[in-house]
Structure 1
Amino acid sequence: MKCVRKPSDWQDISVISMKIWKFFSQSTRTNTVCGRLIDMKITDYKDFAACLKSGCHLFLLYGDNDFYKRKAYQEIILSTVGKDPSDFSLLRFDDQNMDVEAIHNGCITAPFLCEKKCVCVVDLPFAQLSDKDAQLLSDTIEDLPEFTTLIFYCISDDFDIKKPKTKKIADKISKFGCEAFLSNKTQKNGTQGFVLQRVKDLGCTISRPNASRIAEKANGDFEIMDHEIEKLCAYKPGGEIESDDIDALFSLYLASTVFELTKCIFSGDYEGAFQRLNRLKMQKEEPIAVLGELSAAFL
């Protein structure tokens, strides 16, 4: 007699498969990576790099330093599935109606035609999860297979670690993986150190006073500093970045940003427009100067 399973039975199969995996992994699975306990709450990007090298495969990335968050996110993916991952090895969940069960299934399903897989979850509303979904997510985190790297990437400013449900999940992540709070204020090298290192990485030199000058003009924003340093080093390849170079480049910053702003407005990219307005605000640009450039762009 042919056995026909009902659609609901497939969920049971998924649960049974997970239990089988847990049974066979309990004898060898420990709460360690390379012989070290996993219980990581870090605030400095240098510590994150060490965490990644240790073999950790569960991450929560949040904080106001968008530059280091994005860099960390990209490096995790690169170290897990390489430069050109397939649709089978890299799964992304970034829409407004994310299904926790789909995330769970994506994590426990064995990778196809590859050794490892990376599951990226962007801006999951932890605080709004139902109790059932929160428990399923907690179980997924605790029983994450070794072949899966799971990233919770928080871009939105709405993420609040202090909310009870969010805090509970974050604590579970830090117990079994890495909770990385990457803020502008928590980077040990500071803004001057960032400029000095970034200029050196791009093959140029700069004095400490001029490094501080860039940091001050960028109002300590790592995204702006990185963007402007790349332009300065492209302008003087292999040379020394001097104060005149900095003044000349930053005098063009307002005009170029307003130009990008107008492009966003015309294309209907209002989120991008507000991002550039916030950038100008952080730069402490005078509102009258911004309006002047904006008016000229529309003439």
Structure 2
Amino acid sequence: MIDIFTLKENVKKGSIENCYVFCGSDEQLIKEGVYSIVNKLLDKNFMELNYVKFDGNSLDSFDPVVNACQTLPFMSDKKVVLIYRASFIQDEKGDSKLSADKSFKEVSEYIKNVPSHCVLILYDVFKGKRDKPGKRIYAMDKKVCVIKADKIKGQQLEGKVKSFFEIRGKKIERIELKVFCSLMEDNNLSVIENEVEKLCCYVDDREITKDDIKTLFLKSNDDDIFDLVNPISQKKAREALGVLNELIYKGEKIPHILNMIERQFNLLFRVKVSLENRKGKQDIMKELNIRSEYACDMLISQSKKFTIRQLRRAIELCLNTEQKIKSSSVNEKTEMELLIISAIAG
């Protein structure tokens, strides 16, 4: 098993194999590895004819993949076949229409016989930050090249982030770059690139300062609760439960999390009522004592994802959960999970 940087060095040297399996939690990093292979092998003029992609979760049969691999490339020595979201390579069963066991068995057999004119690539993204390669991936590592796309850190991360600013024609000094990278808790390059875009829009034509970075990205309890309520508004139960587990893992006490969620729903309710009464942002900030325009924008954006009825219901659920936790020996974590699921069903 190699890392993404070893892969890129191998590709630069022209050392390319017939089959690759990518895994990791950073999809952007995985895609960059895939693109390095594709761009090295294929002529851009014939890219569409020689680069075939399949969504692993939508495959009814593995036959189309085999047919694509067996078909000769057009005006090229090589072709590339990609299966993304190949959840069947993980030990836990995914959402594929094919059974994960059957899919994995077919792939395991075929990767030993990929024709020389084809490069077959599979990748799957870990669902959680602490997920690791399972037995299936280690089994494939004995047959083909497996690449683990780990989070990048230190100078590698700073170099990549600096390039994001340069692409946007923006200069960031060394100290400001270090501050920015230190505040990126999750080294997911897709997320970080979005944050770079946000910062560039925020400063506009000005130079980037440490105060700009801290204003936008210094995490507070409010930010954590926003991150929890947001997937609830989008009806993403698994993601919301994941954020809850992260908060507990970081040492936040459940009664405190509950109080902050209740406060957030109350704020959203008041913002929603104000918006329906056609009040502007400045009036809302004054009435609710919100000091930051950015925080107000976030509240307004989040409130639009709920109806007033849903927000009332969410506040009632918080109060009921608080009463249960205080008055009986219930499992606090279970009650919080029920609160989140009920608020989503709301």
User: Residue 244 of structure 1 aligns to which amino acid in structure 2?
Assistant: D
Distance 1:137 1:259 in 2: 38
Pairing partner for 1:292 from 263, 268, 272: 263
Question: Any conservation in 2 of the 1:89–1:116 contact (CA below 8 Å)?
Answer: no
**Partners of 2:242 and 2:170 in 1: CA distance:** 30
1:65–1:222 Cα contact (<8 Å) kept: yes
Q: Show the counterpart of 2:52.
A: 90
Residue in 1 that maps onto 2:185: 219
SS in 1 for 2:125: coil
User: 2: distance between equivalents of 1:160 and 1:233?
Assistant: 34
1:62 touches 1:155 (CA, 8 Å); kept in 2? Answer: yes
Q: Is the 8 A contact 2:227 2:243 kept in 1?
A: no
Matched, 1:123 2:86: yes
Partner SS state of residue 161, structure 2? helix
Q: Is 1:246–2:218 an aligned residue pair?
A: no
Q: Over aligned residues, Cα RMSD in angstroms?
A: 4.4
Q: In the aligned structure 2, how far is the partner of 1:100 from the partner of 1:61? A: 19
For residue 202 of structure 2, what is the aligned residue in structure 1?
A: 235
Does 2:111 correspond to 1:144?
Answer: no
> What is the deviation of 1:108?
1.7
When normalised by structure 2's length, the TM-score is 0.55
Aligned to 2:71: 109
Provide the rounded CA distance (Å) in 1 between the counterparts of 2:134 and 2:156: 26
**2:184 touches 2:192 (CA, 8 Å); kept in 1?**
yes
Residue 227 of structure 1 deviates from its aligned partner by 1.6
Equivalent residues, number: 249
Amino acid across the alignment from 2:19: L
Conserved? CA contact 1:81–1:90, under 8 Å: no
Q: Structure 1 vs Structure 2: percent identity of aligned residues? A: 18
**Which residue of the other structure, out of 172, 175, 179, is the alignment partner of 2:143?**
172
- 1:73 and 1:291 map into 2 onto residues whose CA distance is 44
**Contact kept? 2:50, 2:78, Cα under 8 Å:** no
Structure number, greater radius of gyration: 2
- 1:100 to partner: Cα distance: 4.1
Which runs of 5 or more structure 1 residues have no equivalent in the other structure?
1-40
Q: More relative contact order in 1 or in 2 (CA 8 Å, sep 6+)?
A: 1
Write the deviation string for residues 104-124 of structure 1: whole angstroms up to 9, x where unpaired: 333223357987543222224
Aligned partner of 1:67 among 28, 37, 51: 28
Using structure 1 for the length normalisation, give the TM-score. Answer: 0.61
